[in-house]
Structure 1
């Protein structure tokens, strides 16, 4: 390994250490309580070193948002590549999204329930035109278009339907995260019923 490659690897490792520390603080204290000094104290770096790798706290948050959003896209993309009809892919995408979010429950709740402008810049999905600016909503819209392929439904209605589906799924997720004593069997029943309820509603309109 060359000196340049070793320095690049060390740089990447330090950036990852900083991001992981920031993520831990967000999970335990909330995103509003994140600070450069807290990150520095957690990993025993000076704030100056943190600023060498990131311009600001907002820059760190931006990187975390991007990384978290990529997890969602990866989950949805993996479903697109599977065999099955549009309805099956839709069901599987919702199910995988829910279980993915439950695996990072504290992080998910801390970020998605935050209303600060800097966070909403990355997490808002209910504005008009979200399907063209939020890849996850765009992918959900595409599933709906495939389900409704024989029916004329305009893009506005498709987007509104996707947004309502996302919102109801988000509501279920937050309750599953907050109500920690729900056993796995009941959790599965709720998730399955949620998906079936949505799909049955879609089929009525088709």
Structure 2
């Protein structure tokens, strides 16, 4: 290995050390309490060394958010289009997403509940047109489109449906993280029922175009 390659490897190792320290601080204290000084103290470096590898705290946060989002994409992209029926693919996508979130509960909760602009730049999913900017929602919309291949469903309706599915699943994940003492069996029952309700009781039996049209008519 040449001098240039060795220096590049050492630089990457130092950056990774700093990012790991920042991630641990976020898990324990929340993203709002992250600071360059705390990162430096954790790894026993001076703040000046941290600034040698990163411009500021915001750059560190952005990289951590990007890395977290890429973990989600790896999970959601792991399903092959030719393996499952569309509804089976959606079941697997939801289950894998829930399992992934529950494997990193504090990190997931800390990041997804944060409302700072720099974090919302990566995590917001309720704005119109989200499926063109968030790969995870695009994958979900594609799955819904395959389910409703014979339905006259426009892109905006598919996106709204994907957003509602995501928020419902997000709510379940948060409660499972908070109520951690319910037991493994009950947790699995809740996850199974959540997926069954979304895929088989709502999406398959009542297409979203009918559901949303019902919402437009108030019943007195």
Question: TM-score w.r.t. structure 1 length?
Answer: 0.98
Cα offsets for 1:7-38 (capped at 9, x unmatched): 11111111111111000000000000000000
Cα offsets for 1:69-120 (capped at 9, x unmatched): 0000000110135611111111000000000011110000000000011100
Partners of 1:45 and 1:162 in 2: CA distance: 45
Which residue matches 2:205?
204
Partners of 1:205 and 1:154 in 2: CA distance: 16
Deviation at 1:5? 1.1
CA RMSD in angstroms comes to 0.9
Structure 1: runs of 5+ lacking an equivalent = none
Partners of 1:81 and 1:149 in 2: CA distance: 14
Structure 2: runs of 5+ lacking an equivalent = 208-220
Larger radius of gyration: 2
Partners of 1:49 and 1:56 in 2: CA distance: 11
Question: TM-score w.r.t. structure 2 length?
Answer: 0.92
Which residue matches 2:216?
none
Alignment size in residue pairs: 206
Higher helix share: 1
Which residue matches 1:161?
161
Partners of 1:183 and 1:162 in 2: CA distance: 29
Which residue matches 1:112?
112
Which residue matches 1:66?
66
SS in 2 for 1:84: coil
SS in 2 for 1:153: coil
Partners of 1:184 and 1:205 in 2: CA distance: 31
Partners of 2:58 and 2:193 in 1: CA distance: 39
> Would you identify which runs of 4 or more consecutive aligned residues in structure 1 move more than 4 Å?
none
